[in-house]
Amino acid sequence: MMNKEQKQIYIKEMTSQFENSEAVLVTHYQGLTVKQLDELRKRMREHGIIFKITKNRITKLALEKSKCKELSNLFSGPTAVAFSEDAITSAKILTKFSRENENLKILGGIMGTDVLDVDGVKNVATLPTLDEARAKIVGILRSPAQKIASILLAPASKIAILALEKSKK
């Protein structure tokens, strides 16, 4: 049981996390074992994501003072929240984990200023992460340069044959 001072500290911490996180995803974890929760926390921690089991009544008080007021109705039952700077990664991890463990239910969340329902979170999970998007762009940009380099490095006879073939078309 928390005393009044501990509750105030909890409210301040939660308000701060709601305000400073780019993405906040809310889940129900009823039926998950301690081992499963530890595994999920480990996966989240590897990506700098905080996964925290909440005290609903006190968390609702923290929500009132934050940008995430719209999530208040999701806090009933055994609730846990993922706080992250990368909504896509946290959505991917939670979606994958909920497929592997049917006891984890994604309820919704906020990404930036957008409120997401369950389908919204699942849609975000299908987007490429920033690193994946960068890799695709580099691959696209690199491909034509490699073709030009290979042509320039080819022996002169191959270039002449290529030019002859192109002129016939």
Q: What pLDDT is recorded for position 105?
A: 92
Average pLDDT over residues 58-77: 86
d(CA 106, CA 29): 9
Identity (one letter) of the amino acid at 87? A
Check pLDDT > 90 for residue 46.
yes
d(CA 74, CA 99): 20
Identity (one letter) of the amino acid at 109? G
Would you say 49 and 84 are in contact if contact means Cβ atoms under 8 Å apart? yes
Check pLDDT > 70 for residue 151.
no
pTM of this prediction? Answer: 0.73
| 106 and 50 fall within a common domain | yes
Q: What pLDDT is recorded for position 39?
A: 92
d(CA 107, CA 115): 11
* Dihedral sign for Cα atoms in the order 129, 134, 135, 136: positive
Q: Using a pLDDT cut of 90, give the percent of the chain over it.
A: 25
Number of domains in the chain: 2
89 vs 155: which has the higher pLDDT: 89
Q: What pLDDT is recorded for position 150?
A: 67
Q: What pLDDT is recorded for position 166?
A: 73
| 71 and 15 fall within a common domain | yes
Q: What pLDDT is recorded for position 28?
A: 92
d(CA 64, CA 62): 5
Where do the H-state alpha helices sit in the chain? 4-20, 34-45, 56-64, 87-100, 118-126, 130-153, 156-168
| 138 and 123 fall within a common domain | no
d(CA 106, CA 122): 9
Model confidence band, residue 148 (pLDDT cutoffs 50, 70, 90): low
Model confidence band, residue 27 (pLDDT cutoffs 50, 70, 90): very high
122 vs 165: which has the higher pLDDT: 122
Name the residue range of residue 97's domain: 4-127
| 115 and 143 fall within a common domain | no
| 136 and 123 fall within a common domain | no
| 120 and 135 fall within a common domain | no
For residue 68, the SS3 value is coil
167 vs 14: which has the higher pLDDT: 14
Closest alpha carbon to 54 in 107, 114, 11: 11
d(CA 79, CA 3): 21
Highest mean pLDDT among 140-144, 147-151, 154-158: 140-144
What are the tokens at 166?
């192109």
| 122 and 144 fall within a common domain | no
| 141 and 73 fall within a common domain | no
Strands lying side by side in the sheet with 114-116 = 50-53, 79-84, 23-28, 105-111, 114-116
